[in-house]
Amino acid sequence: MNNFTYYNPTKIIFGENTISRIVREIPSDAVVLMTYGGGSIKKNGTYDQVKKALKNYEILEFGGIEANPQYSTLMKAVELCRDKQVDFLLAVGGGSVIDGTKFIAAAVPFEGDPWDMPAKGAKVEKALPFGAVLTLPATGSEMNAFAVVSRKEIGKKLSFGAPPHTFPQFSVLDPSFTRTLSARQRGNGVTDAFIHVTEQYLTYPQGAAVTDRMAEGILKVLIDEGPEYVRESGDMKAAANIVWAASMALNGLLATGVVTDWATHSIGHELTVLHNIDHARTLAIIWPGMMKVMQEEKRDKLLQFAQRVWDVRAGSEQEQIEEGIRRTEEFFNSLQVPTRLSDYDLGEDTIDKIIENLKDNGFTALGEQKKVTPEKVRSILSHRL
């Protein structure tokens, strides 16, 4: 097991009807900017609940943060914050709104071009404090310090993180806010969380037994509860478990003591840039190809995954590994998440463009062992046609 320092300062306020507690977390004299997306929070009542909870505050609003938040939109909020001397941000929405808010929080006091934060890894020394009200379990952004920002004019989708400054101070996780999610967003969320776990777990054995068992436990919860949650039955037991599983999947705990992969995500971001495919759906396309092509490097953990997560015990080791990969793809499909490039009418020519973009970003040696080269990416994607 590798040495590690683990620190996560985000306070989690979990459960139905807990939103009123945010008043304890935001200074009473703060000028608050509430950020949100395209309007789902107005339709489902979350907006009203937040406004009610903050009725004694001076609140400004910034709506219209799009899925895969755009730099040009976020910079408008940065200007607003600077102009109105905003001193606390409250993100109300899914991963895109929370990520966008992290960018705004870091960009407001940033001296220089804020795009340098994701593009050049520019050092972030401070950020405005912010909290989050999560409406879509998926990314884990509500409990980590990372954000992904897009700039479509130049065809880029890049991440940055500046812990401890870009951790939310608190996040409200009320499972009832998921009631209005479409089956598509539900399936996406379970898939994204699943692949966040495997990005940290499916590498090579590092003797991190606690981390491994936590990862396997979260995967099993996603498998057990995911289908019920996607059926939209309004079952709050399933929703509650999916919400907490998605936060636990990417709050740093599963990276304790281990090296991590993230190649599937890096390639996936290019599929979103080029074809506007939902984040989780890009991952579901790439993941089975990644596991097939990188099988030798990941052999021991793939076998452990098949046995402990999918309870596969029959057949040779090779057969068990293949069965684990097969069942995972079948699981994504059962969540109504397609797993082939052809499901989006994409073919060979997109592979060249993805490789070109990855090279342009300097991503030519991805994965836990830096063995996912452009040739490997071609092979991975060729399996997914």
Distance CA 385, CA 339 (A): 9
Q: Is 192 in the site for Zn ion (CB under 5 A)?
A: yes
Which residue lies nearest Zn ion, judged by its C-beta?
Answer: 192
Distance CA 162, CA 131 (A): 16
Q: Is 250 in the site for ligand NZQ (CB under 6 A)?
A: yes
Q: Give the pair of three-digit tokens for residue 39.
A: 């309007």
| Shortest distance, position 35 Cβ to Zn ion, whole Å | 20
The answer to whether 189 and 280 have CB atoms below 8 angstroms apart is yes
Contact of residue 141 among ligand NZQ, Zn ion, none (CB under 5-8 Å per partner type): ligand NZQ
Tell me whether strands 31-35 and 58-62 are parallel, antiparallel or unpaired. Answer: parallel
DSSP state letters, 241-255: HHHHHHHHHTSSGGG
| Shortest distance, position 322 Cβ to ligand NZQ, whole Å | 26
Taking every pair of Cα atoms in the chain, the longest distance, rounded to a whole number of angstroms, is 66
Q: Which helix (H) or strand (E) holds 161?
A: strand 156-161
Contact of residue 264 among ligand NZQ, Zn ion, none (CB under 5-8 Å per partner type): none
Judged by CB under 6 A, the chain residues 116 through 135 that form the site for ligand NZQ are 135
The smaller minimum CB distance to ligand NZQ, of residues 180 and 369, is found at 180
Distance CA 186, CA 34 (A): 24
The smaller minimum CB distance to ligand NZQ, of residues 99 and 212, is found at 99
Q: Of these, 93, 114, 252, 324, which contacts ligand NZQ (CB under 6 A)?
A: 93
> How distant, in Å, are the alpha carbons of 47, 55, 113, 370 from that of 205?
46, 52, 41, 16
| Shortest distance, position 191 Cβ to ligand NZQ, whole Å | 10
H helix intervals, 231-347? 236-249, 263-275, 279-293, 295-308, 317-334
Distance CA 282, CA 141 (A): 18
The smaller minimum CB distance to ligand NZQ, of residues 68 and 328, is found at 68
> How distant, in Å, are the alpha carbons of 143, 287, 330 from that of 188?
18, 14, 14
The smaller minimum CB distance to ligand NZQ, of residues 192 and 322, is found at 192
| Shortest distance, position 243 Cβ to ligand NZQ, whole Å | 11
The answer to whether 65 and 93 have CB atoms below 8 angstroms apart is yes
| Shortest distance, position 96 Cβ to ligand NZQ, whole Å | 3
What would the x/- binding string for ligand NZQ be over residues 37 to 76, using CB under 6 A?
xxxxx--x----------------------xx--------
The smaller minimum CB distance to Zn ion, of residues 174 and 278, is found at 278
| Shortest distance, position 76 Cβ to Zn ion, whole Å | 26
Q: Is 147 in the site for ligand NZQ (CB under 6 A)?
A: yes
Which region, left, alpha or beta, applies to residue 262 given φ > 0 means left and ψ of -120 to 50 means alpha? left
- CA neighbours within 13 Å on the CB side: how many for 360? 14
| Shortest distance, position 80 Cβ to Zn ion, whole Å | 28
Q: Of these, 35, 185, 200, 247, which contacts ligand NZQ (CB under 6 A)?
A: 185
> Would you call 101 helix, strand, or coil by DSSP?
helix
Contact of residue 144 among ligand NZQ, Zn ion, none (CB under 5-8 Å per partner type): ligand NZQ
Q: Of these, 165, 265, 301, 384, which contacts ligand NZQ (CB under 6 A)?
A: 265
- CA neighbours within 13 Å on the CB side: how many for 239? 24
Question: What number of chain residues touch ligand NZQ (CB under 6 A)?
Answer: 34
The smaller minimum CB distance to ligand NZQ, of residues 82 and 179, is found at 179
User: Which residues contribute to the site for ligand NZQ (CB under 6 A)?
Assistant: 37-41, 44, 67-68, 93-97, 99, 135-136, 138-141, 144, 146-148, 177-178, 180-181, 185, 188, 192, 250, 265, 279
Task: Tell me which residues touch Zn ion (CB under 5 A).
Answer: 192
